[in-house]
Amino acid sequence: GAVVSQHPSRVICKSGTSVKIECRSLDFQATTMFWYRQFPKQSLMLMATSNEGSKATYEQGVEKDKFLINHASLTLSTLTVTSAHPEDSSFYICSARGPGLNGEYFGPGTRLTVT
Amino acid sequence: KQEVTQIPAALSVPEGENLVLNCSFTDSAIYNLQWFRQDPGKGLTSLLLIQSSQREQTSGRLNASLDKSSGRSTLYIAASQPGDSATYLCAVGSTGNQFYFGTGTSLTVIP
């Protein structure tokens, strides 16, 4: 139980385009979802927290107009990287929490490469 | 702000050896602590979750301990195997509903 999926697992896009990453909770209702980013050889850094039906809360230094987060349902959150640049190339991981569950459940991650 | 440190940053051991990974955190007001495994290019796999009221959790060859007062957790791996080679991340859950991650320990188990 408590499985989180992400799609796509890998994506390559050209500089200036936008790319959408989906995070789904497959067998539970995710009242809260988190988006993390990981640069090579660095730890995961929280980008934003989203509660279903509410606007996401972004961490300091994360541009909310560049990283659009939508959590419109209890099983789906999306992260859209707008006008992507090569420095946005990173590993993006989502996680979810739900009522009655202990801990946080992580998706498998999405590797974004911007050329 | 919570700061999480993992020592050592890298560790290489021969197969069969028992080993301990360390995690320390600065704010003892935690909600829980999780140990994860991350294989190269992959997402996180949760290994053990310890609630703030618990002192340890065990799963197979893994044992994680938590000492909130001293701000420390350890992950003990018994009889290490080459398949255990990965990066191990410690994450501290704060009462503010947020996880803080350490930078990880890269483990290599030599056959």
Provide the pLDDT for residue A77: 94
Q: Report the pLDDT averaged over residues A35-53.
A: 83
Partner residue opposite A32 with nearest CB, options B42, B97, B102: B97
- Report residue A2's pLDDT band, with 50, 70 and 90 as the boundaries: confident
Sheet harboring B19-25: ordered strands across?
B4-7, B19-25, B72-77, B62-67, B56-59
Q: For chain B, which residues lie within 8 Å of any Cβ of chain A, measuring from their own Cβ?
A: 32, 34, 36, 41-44, 46, 49, 51, 89, 91, 93, 97-99, 101-104
Provide the pLDDT for residue A40: 73
Rounded Cα distance between B93 and B95, Å, is 7
pLDDT digits (tens, 9 = 90+) for A66-107: 999 999 899 999 999 999 999 999 989 999 988 887 777 888
Residues of chain B with Cβ-Cβ distance to A37 below 8 Å are none
> Is beta strand B19-25 parallel, antiparallel or unpaired with respect to B72-77?
antiparallel
Do residues B38 and B104 touch, judged by C-beta distance below 8 A?
Answer: yes
Q: Report the pLDDT averaged over residues B37-49.
A: 82
